[in-house]
Amino acid sequence: MKTIIFIESDKDDAKVFQEVFNQSKTIDCKLLIEDNAEEVFQLLSNGVIEVDLLVLDMSQRKINPHCLLKKIKDDLKEDCPYILVMGESIAELSVESAYREGADCYLIKPEITSRYQEIIYHLENYLVEKKQIPAELNLIDQHKNIA
């Protein structure tokens, strides 16, 4: 069974993601939603949990998400899961920083349910077939193509 951890400090956004995930998923996959990024980092670092995909909301209140990305990539190295970040900003600096700190994918945080469904569809494709998130959605891929 595949495992996704979604680190989200906004309870309403977490609830929407959970509901859409439960309605949309087509594979045997477990979703854990956590609001404490530091605790998740400790569990990953200590090998307490294994995760196939980490989804990180960039508007974390308790910890700087850029510092967290760097810590995860530095500490977990080859055991590091695929990291997808969702941010509200399309600013090039935000995307570039997330990429530099270790994010594999940067998506604009959805405002409507159908966009969450599209994201979950692509997450499942990644987990099952290792298909990359389409470049038109992944701002990191767009950034790399421009640079």
Give the phi and the psi of residue 14 in degrees, each rounded to 5: -65, -40
Count CB atoms within 10 A of the CB of residue 26. Answer: 9
At residue 46, the 3 state secondary structure works out as: coil
Whole-prediction pTM? 0.86
pLDDT tens readout for residues 38-90:
888 888 888 888 899 999 998 877 778 888 888 888 888 778 888 999 988 77
Instruction: Write the CB contacts of 127 (distance below 8 Å, at least 6 apart in sequence).
Output: 2, 4, 27, 29, 52, 53
Summarised one tens digit per residue, pLDDT across range 87-109 is 887 776 688 888 889 899 899 88
- The hierarchical CATH code for the domain 2-146 is 3.40.50.2300
Please say if the pLDDT value at position 32 is more than 90.
yes
Listed in sequence order, the residues at least 6 apart from 119 whose beta carbon sits closer than 8 Å to its beta carbon are 107, 110, 137
Domain ranges of the chain: 2-146
Q: How far is CA 140 from CA 21, 30, 46, 102, in A?
A: 24, 26, 29, 11
Q: What are the CA-CA distances from residue 113 to residues 43, 90, 91 (Å)?
A: 30, 20, 23
**SS3 of residue 105 by DSSP:** strand
